[in-house]
């Protein structure tokens, strides 16, 4: 054996000691412990403004499924001042892991209760006079159709949140509406949830059992639990983007598409396949589950309020959806795949929990550049945008 590989190995191990903070602190963090328990070996640790990221070998996650073929990339409408936003690891100054590794961010563990179900069509009038803590507010549309996933282009505003335990999101959910364990979902969207990540970010979520469990191969956010298989080296669940949209100013966008491909639920973001949920997570013997296809799909905005008074947390830009371009948040080119992988423009209507706080306008017209789209948002209680 020539001395060169040995030297390289020594250098690599010195470097890895250096980047993880030195041998003087041999105690693994809870995040490192969690990865080790999932059999994932950390080859390098890097930092960005809002994340500490462990880089693990792609194949240490198991046998990687074939990704769907690349699509014709989405290009923003040249008639508008719109650009695709850039993820934290796509910045020129970002430090990446060694070739063949994928990023797993260390996370704050947030309570699973904050994501506790799909829009339930309960209007605020139906609620009794009581504390609003734990309430969810929606502008939502759903279709009960058999599908292999769907797609939308999301505006990237930083929604004001009243406190770090509230969240404000725009998302899609691809679901099976009932199994013997409850509904099953794969979800993805754009969220401001400071207790999860201090900057607005994309998220994924899944449940195999009607939002009952939170844990490896059962359900949960991002890569906080096992289940998600990370594929991209630059975009991961939880990653933040820059720059962001400004009201009546330049707009930034994020594309998100779920596709059921070769038995797995792949997610595309900014025209690349970033990872997938294995279909096997959802299997229940003798039943139709999300391991087969989806029978209901949603696009919606949601506010979760953690405190008791009516929340001032904003949806979208904070401007009402009815103000439209270039003030309101939006999702455009909304469509789903039917079971022949035909692209079907969205023709669902949107409803909002309380139109005095958040509202929506929508159009289903595939002849327009934006196809089927919705403007949605609002300032919440008190009517102040950004406060
Ligand atoms: C787009 O926004 C940027 C930043 O505000 C501005 O400099 C530029 O002139 C705008 N372009 C168009 C076509 O409006
Ligand atoms: C799927 O959608 C395409 C249009 O994109 C249509 O031509 C086809 O008939 C649809 N297939 C089914 C099974 O509905």
The pLDDT value given to residue 114: 61
Q: How far is the CA of 148 from the centre of ligand 2 (A)?
A: 12
Residue with CA at minimum distance from ligand 1 atom 10: 81
- pTM, to two decimals: 0.90
Which tokens go with 191? 């969220």
Q: Is 195 exposed, middle or buried (0-12, 13-18, 19+ CB in 10 A)?
A: middle
Atom of ligand 2 nearest to the CA of 339: 13
Collect contacts of 221-227 with beta carbons under 8 A, ≥24 apart: 221/107, 221/110, 221/115, 221/196, 222/105, 222/107, 222/196, 223/104, 223/105, 223/107, 224/107, 224/109, 224/110, 226/38, 227/277, 227/278, 227/281
Domain borders along the chain are 3-78, 121-377
Residue of the CA atom closest to atom 12 of ligand 1: 81
Hey, whose CA ends up nearest to atom 2 of ligand 1? 250
pLDDT for 130: 62
- The separation between the first and the last C-alpha atoms of the chain, rounded to the nearest angstrom, is 65
pLDDT for 111 equals 58
Peptide bond into 284 cis (omega under 30): no
**Which of 344, 345, 366, 372 is the best mutation target for the ligand 2 pocket, counting ligand atoms within 8 Å of the beta carbon and taking the most?**
344
Q: Whose CA is closest to atom 1 on ligand 2?
A: 342
Listed in sequence order, the residues at least 6 apart from 102 whose beta carbon sits closer than 8 Å to its beta carbon are 55, 56, 57, 58, 61, 230, 231, 232, 233, 236
Q: What angle do CA 247, 252, 256 make, to 5 degrees?
A: 125
Alpha carbon distance 306, 165 (integer Å): 6
How far apart CA 284 and CA 377 sit, in angstroms, is 38
Please tell me the distance between residue 81's alpha carbon and the centre of ligand 1 in angstroms. 6
- Which residue out of 151, 336, 342 has the highest number of ligand 2 atoms within 8 Å of its CB and is therefore the one to mutate? 342
246 Cα to the center of ligand 1, angstroms: 12
Q: Which ligand is nearest to the CA of 337?
A: 2
Q: Is 343 touching ligand 2 by the criterion CB < 6 Å? A: yes
Cβ-Cβ contacts under 8 Å for 183 (sequence gap 6 or more): 118, 175, 176, 177, 207, 210, 211
Which ligand 1 atom sits closest to the C-alpha of 250?
2
- Which residues are within 8 A (CB) of 129 and not within 5 positions of it... i.e. 6 or more apart? none
CB atoms within 10 A of CB 236: 27
Mutating to test ligand 1, I would choose from 81, 82, 246 the residue with most ligand atoms within 8 A of its C-beta, which is 81
Per-residue pLDDT of the chain (387 residues; tens, 9 = 90+): 343 444 444 444 444 434 443 334 446 676 777 777 778 899 999 999 999 999 999 999 999 999 999 888 999 988 889 999 999 999 999 999 999 999 999 987 665 656 778 887 544 444 455 678 888 999 999 999 999 999 999 999 999 999 999 999 999 999 999 999 999 999 999 999 999 999 999 999 999 999 998 899 999 999 988 999 999 999 999 999 999 999 999 999 999 999 999 999 999 999 999 999 999 999 999 999 999 999 999 999 999 999 888 999 999 999 999 999 999 999 999 999 999 999 999 999 999 999 999 999 999 988 889 999 999 999 999 999 999
pLDDT at position 13: 43
CA of 249, closest atom in ligand 1: 5
Identify which ligand lies nearest to the alpha carbon of 246: 1
The answer to whether the CB of 125 is under 6 A from ligand 2 is no
Ligand 1, atom 7: closest residue by C-alpha: 250
Tokens of 349: 């209507």
- What lines the ligand 1 site, CB under 6 Å? 81, 249-250
CB distance 288 to ligand 2 below 6 Å? no
pLDDT at 34: 75
């Amino acid at each position: 054996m020539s001395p060169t590989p040995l030297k390289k190995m020594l250098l690599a191990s010195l470097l890895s000691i250096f980047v993880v903070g030195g041998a003087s602190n041999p105690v693994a963090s809870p995040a490192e412990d969690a990865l080790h328990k999932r059999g994932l070996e950390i080859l390098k640790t890097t930092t960005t403004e809002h994340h500490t990221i462990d880089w693990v070998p792609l194949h240490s996650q198991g046998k990687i499924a074939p990704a769907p073929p690349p699509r014709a990339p989405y290009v923003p409408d040249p008639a508008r001042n719109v650009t695709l936003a850039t993820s934290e690891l796509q910045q020129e100054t970002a430090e990446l892991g060694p070739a063949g590794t994928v990023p797993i961010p260390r996370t704050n563990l947030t309570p699973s209760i904050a994501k506790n179900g799909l829009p339930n069509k309960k209007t605020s009038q139906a609620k009794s006079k009581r504390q609003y803590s734990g309430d969810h507010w929606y502008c939502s549309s759903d279709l009960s159709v058999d599908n292999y996933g769907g797609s939308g282009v999301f505006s990237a505003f930083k929604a004001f949140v009243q406190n770090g335990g509230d969240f404000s999101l725009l998302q899609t959910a691809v679901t099976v509406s009932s199994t013997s364990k409850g509904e099953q979902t794969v979800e993805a969207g754009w969220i401001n949830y400071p207790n999860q990540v201090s900057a607005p970010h994309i998220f994924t979520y899944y449940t195999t059992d009607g939002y009952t469990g939170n844990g490896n191969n059962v359900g949960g956010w991002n890569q906080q639990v096992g289940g998600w298989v990370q594929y991209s080296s630059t975009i991961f669940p939880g990653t933040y983007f820059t720059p962001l949209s400004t009201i009546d100013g330049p707009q930034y966008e994020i594309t998100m598409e779920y596709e059921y491909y070769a038995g797995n639920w792949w997610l595309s973001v900014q025209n690349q396949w970033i990872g997938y949920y294995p279909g096997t997570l959802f299997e229940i013997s003798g039943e139709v589950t999300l391991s087969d296809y989806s029978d209901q799909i949603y696009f919606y905005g949601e506010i979760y309020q953690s405190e008791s008074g009516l929340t001032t947390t904003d949806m979208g830009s904070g401007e009402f959806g009815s103000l439209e371009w270039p003030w309101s948040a939006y999702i455009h080119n909304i469509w789903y795949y039917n079971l022949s992988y035909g692209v079907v423009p969205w023709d669902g209507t949107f409803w909002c929990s309380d139109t005095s706080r958040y509202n929506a306008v929508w159009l289903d017209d595939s002849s327009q550049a934006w196809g089927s789209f919705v403007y949605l948002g609002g300032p919440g209680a008190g009517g102040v945008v950004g406060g």
